[in-house]
Amino acid sequence: MLFTSLRPLAIEAVLVLLPALANAQLFTVNCSPLTVQRSDPIVSPGKLSGHVHAVIGGTAFQQTMSATTAVDAKLTTCDKKVDKSNYWVPQLYHIRPDSKFEIVEFQGSVSRDHLSARNMSLIPL
């Protein structure tokens, strides 16, 4: 009963968003893993992080980064070669039946955002 009463609202919401999405472009970045390490230059600059991160992006990633470190990277693991930014996420582990931890291999990442044609700002999906 509740679902059927919400359906008109959902349809109306989609119709309101359609013009904005019609004027937007999909911006996709595909990245391969760069490294897996205990580094987080934002939360723990210059020292070991409290946990392991999988890192993608520019090859200049390090424990301490200045405003120009990423820009000065020579290469990137992403398909948009002009973007030398770094992105990192907590590394995942699987607990085996014997209670030992096993690393889940990080395969890479894909980021998709809508780029608004009006203001050229990123609108997360």
> What pLDDT digit, counting tens, does each position of 51-87 carry?
999 999 999 999 999 989 998 999 999 998 988 989 9
The ranges assigned to domains in the chain are: 2-124
User: Hey, what amino acid is at 73?
Assistant: A
Rounded to whole angstroms, the Cα distance separating 109 from 125 reads 15
**Average pLDDT over the chain, rounded to an integer:** 80
Rounded to whole angstroms, the Cα distance separating 109 from 57 reads 10
> What pLDDT digit, counting tens, does each position of 93-112 carry?
999 999 999 999 988 877 66
pLDDT of residue 23: 57
The residue with greater pLDDT, 39 or 120, is 39
Those residues whose C-beta lies under 8 Å from the C-beta of residue 9, and which sit 6 or more positions away, are none
Among residues 39, 91, 90, 83, which one has the least CA distance to residue 65? 39
pLDDT of residue 15: 58
